[in-house]
Amino acid sequence: MKTVPQEVLKGYAIGNVKSITPVTAGLVHETFAIKTDQGQYIIQKLHPVLASRAIGEDFLAVTEFLRSQNFLSPVCVRTKNGSVLSIVKNDVWRMQTKLPGQTIHVVQDLAMAREAGEIYARFHSVMDRMDYRFKSKKILHETEKVYGAFGKATKGCKVDEVEKVAKEIDFIRRELPRFFLPSDLPLRVIHGDPKISNILFDRKGKARAIIDLDTCNRRPLLVELGDAFRSWCGGAEDDPKNAFSIPRFRAAWKGYEVGAQGFMTAKERKLVPKAIGTITLELACRFLTDYFADNYFGWDPKRYPSRRAHNLARCRGQIAEFKDYQKKLPAIKKIVEV
């Protein structure tokens, strides 16, 4: 079983370790919950793509700013020598305090969808006041660049490999360029990965906090909203019958709308329905790119024989959700009133 090396643990002043438990929900980092006689912590072995000192500094700045604004946030735990990151045998680790609350992996009801919308509206409103220049150059949801990387990946592979996924390639080539968002949208501080499991809920179902804050950066608000509604209103990413739930979208949008009235522009609001399609296809594109590259997303060896097989299932699941979303787009626009 994977665990945290003693050499890493010795670098932190966290008391005597009582237990270390793997957290298996994430797709990118290796995550562990640690209980000591001084408290509870989360430590992550960071994926090389997200293991830079710049991202570490941004994580520290975001968590400190959120706490200064009375928005519940984990505390970044530095090493004994004051570093945000711990580098041991070429592996990069980062620790934070563990917040109380439940991690939910699937939106369970309409009340939860509304809670998710409300806390993200509050998060965006708070972060809109943050005067900070992000140091990381790792920017998520650059749809045109994702599409470009996808094109390079498909051109550089063997013919028989491409033929296996020809339908998916043709669909993404045909549809995604039609859903590129305008380049002149205002830049705001977004989370970058607003899946429901990055929200902590209390026992009464109230959203308490947002976690996994290492992908925050300045991007158009619409890429965040497109990803959030895609995720909250769809099924499992690798479900071949993935569908978009209008009732969940209505609840989540109403929750978001309440807190967004002070900063969201009319143009941003008008493009919310389109943005859902943008990010659904972008994710399908990313999964199919990693089907060829085979080096980024985590995968479930209990259900799939390889990372490539899991990524292909995820790609097909996102395409299925996009097709269902297209059928329901008039209803989505009516809810947003555009």
> Count of residues for the chain?
338
Calculated CA dihedral for residues 250, 118, 56, 54, nearest 10 degrees:
70
Q: Is the pLDDT of residue 320 over 80?
A: yes
- Cβ–Cβ under 8 Å, residues 312 and 288: yes
Runs of H (alpha helix) within 261-306: 266-293
Which value, in Å, is the radius of gyration of the alpha carbons in the chain? 20
Residue 338 has pLDDT above 80, yes or no: no
Q: Which amino acid type is present at position 267? A: K
CATH of 103-336, one of 3.90.1200.10, 3.40.640.10, 3.90.870.10, 3.40.50.300: 3.90.1200.10
pLDDT greater than 70 at residue 60: yes
Looking at residues 297-309, what average pLDDT do you find? Answer: 92
Please name which of 86, 98, 97, 95 lies closest in space to residue 8, comparing C-alpha atoms: 86
Average pLDDT of the residues in 163-190: 95
**In the predicted structure, residue 147 carries a pLDDT above the cut 90:** yes
Nearest one of 170, 182, 184, 171 to 144, comparing CA atoms: 182
Name the band, by pLDDT with cuts 50, 70 and 90, for residue 262.
Answer: confident
Mean pLDDT check: name the lowest of 54-63, 68-77, 176-185, 254-263. Answer: 254-263
Question: What's the Cα-to-Cα distance from 35 to each of 62, 187, 332, rounded to whole Å?
Answer: 24, 39, 44
Least confident of 21-30, 231-240, 245-254: 21-30
Q: With a cut of 80, say whether residue 332 has pLDDT above it.
A: yes
**All structural domains of the chain with their residue ranges:** 6-98, 103-336
Euclidean distance between CA atoms 308 and 239, whole angstroms: 16
What's the mean pLDDT in 219-238? 97
CA–CA distance, 251 with 263 (Å, rounded to integer): 20
**Is the confidence at residue 157, as pLDDT, over 90?**
no
Q: How far apart are alpha carbons 277 and 249 in whole angstroms?
A: 13
Q: Do the beta carbons of residue 46 and residue 29 sit within 8 Å?
A: yes
pLDDT in the model for residue 28:
73
pLDDT at 313 over 70: yes
Confidence check: pLDDT of 26 > 70 = no
pLDDT at position 155 over 90:
no
Cα 8 vs. chain centroid, distance in angstroms?
Answer: 26
The encoded tokens of residue 326 equal 């297209």
Q: What is the mean pLDDT of the chain?
A: 94
Query: CATH assignment of 6-98, given 1.20.1080.10, 2.120.10.10, 3.30.200.20, 3.40.50.2000?
Result: 3.30.200.20
10 Å CB burial of residue 104 (0-12, 13-18, 19+) is middle
Per-residue pLDDT averaged across 51-58, rounded? 95
pLDDT bracket for residue 260 (50, 70, 90): confident
| pLDDT for the residue 335 | 97
- Choose among 216, 223, 228, 222: nearest CA to 189: 216
Question: What pLDDT, on the 0 to 100 scale, is given for residue 212?
Answer: 92
Instruction: Give the number of other CB atoms < 10 A from CB of residue 301.
Output: 10
Segment 293-305 shows an average pLDDT of 90
The two three-digit tokens of residue 113, written as one number:
């969808």
Q: How confident is the model at residue 27 (pLDDT cuts 50, 70, 90)?
A: low
Report the pLDDT value the prediction gives residue 50, as an integer from 0 to 100. Answer: 85
pLDDT band at 69 (very low <50, low <70, confident <90, very high): very high
* Residue-level pLDDT at 16: 96
- Whose tokens are 């009375």? That residue is 70
Helix (DSSP H) and strand (DSSP E) numbers for the chain: 10, 11
At residue 25, the pLDDT reads: 66
What's the whole-model pTM score? Answer: 0.91
What's the pLDDT band for 161 if we cut at 50, 70, 90? confident
- Name every residue whose Cβ is closer than 8 Å to that of residue 274 and which is 6 or more positions away in sequence: 179, 181
Q: What is the mean pLDDT of residues 128-148?
A: 93
Backbone angles phi, psi at 258, to 5 degrees: -60, -45
What confidence category does residue 181 fall into, taking pLDDT thresholds of 50, 70 and 90? very high
